[in-house]
Amino acid sequence: MEALKEKIRQEGRVLGGSVLKVDSFLNHQLDPEFLNEIGKAFKEMFKELKVTKILTAEVSGIAIAVMAGLHFQVPVVFAKKTQSLNLDPETYEGEVYSYTKQQHYKIRVSKRYLSNEDQVLILDDFLANGEALKGLYQIVEASGANLVGTGVVIEKGFQEGGKKLRAEGREIKALATILSMDHGDITFL
């Protein structure tokens, strides 16, 4: 998606060589018109698929998933990262390892909102080490739903997640793939 690459070139900030901050439109301040273009691009990318539900993870996946949901005209479910009283006790779980926190945590979706009748499209903001997607795949598998596709806004191709998950047979598409960010210079595929 050319407009996304341009937006990243103009507004992205590289931290410590491997973290890309896109806080001005995707991860903190949200740019609704631009996120709507992202939703539209996902619809175009996966237009052949029959989708009944979009699945993402809180918090950063929600905005783009909702925009995509408008174009697919299907509900969006987000996996929750904390156990709380307002989450149904009956849940499907996935496990995610956080490199930044150096610990495992669970993500959960209520059994009410995913079933073996669903055709699920997983969407997320970033693909880095692939842990978030792995946790979401576990949830889809536990629910018996059919996974029809996976899309991410930005894949950091210099990290291992994409390679690892594709080697396991996962088909993942990205709206923009970054090959390197050395010295703050962002190179796209």
Tell me: does residue 38 bind ligand 5GP (CB under 6 A): no
Interface with ligand 5GP (CB under 6 A), residue from 12, 67, 131, 145:
131
146 annotated among ligand-binding-site residues: no
Angle between the 60-72 and 32-45 helix axes, to the nearest 10 degrees?
60
* Region binding ligand 5GP by CB under 6 A among candidate stretches 65-73, 113-121, 122-130, 165-173: 122-130
CB of 75 to ligand 5GP, least distance (A): 21
Interface with ligand 5GP (CB under 6 A), residue from 91, 129, 143, 177:
129
* Region binding ligand 5GP by CB under 6 A among candidate stretches 5-13, 33-41, 72-80, 125-133: 125-133
Binding mask of the shown chain, residues 136 to 175, with x at each position contacting ligand 5GP by CB under 6 A: --------------------x----x--------------
Question: Tokens 């709507």 correspond to what residue?
Answer: 36
150, two tokens: 């996976």
Tell me: does residue 123 bind ligand 5GP (CB under 6 A): no
C-alpha 114/C-alpha 52 separation (Å) is 10
# chain residues binding ligand 5GP, by CB under 6 A:
17
Interface with ligand 5GP (CB under 6 A), residue from 38, 64, 127, 136:
127
* Pairing relationship of beta strands 13-15 and 19-21 according to DSSP bridges: antiparallel
Question: Tokens 């631009």 correspond to what residue?
Answer: 34
In terms of CB distance, is 81 or 111 closer to ligand 5GP?
81
109, two tokens: 């979706």
CB of 117 to ligand 5GP, least distance (A): 27
Task: Look at the alpha carbons of 34, 40, 44, 50 in this order and tell me if their dihedral is positive or negative.
Answer: positive
Nearest to 104 by CA among 112, 94, 114: 94
Cis bond upstream, residue 59 (ω within 30)? yes
Tell me: does residue 126 bind ligand 5GP (CB under 6 A): yes
- Indicate the DSSP class of residue 49: S
C-alpha 143/C-alpha 133 separation (Å) is 15
Residues that bind ligand 5GP (CB under 6 A): 19-22, 27, 60, 124-132, 156, 161
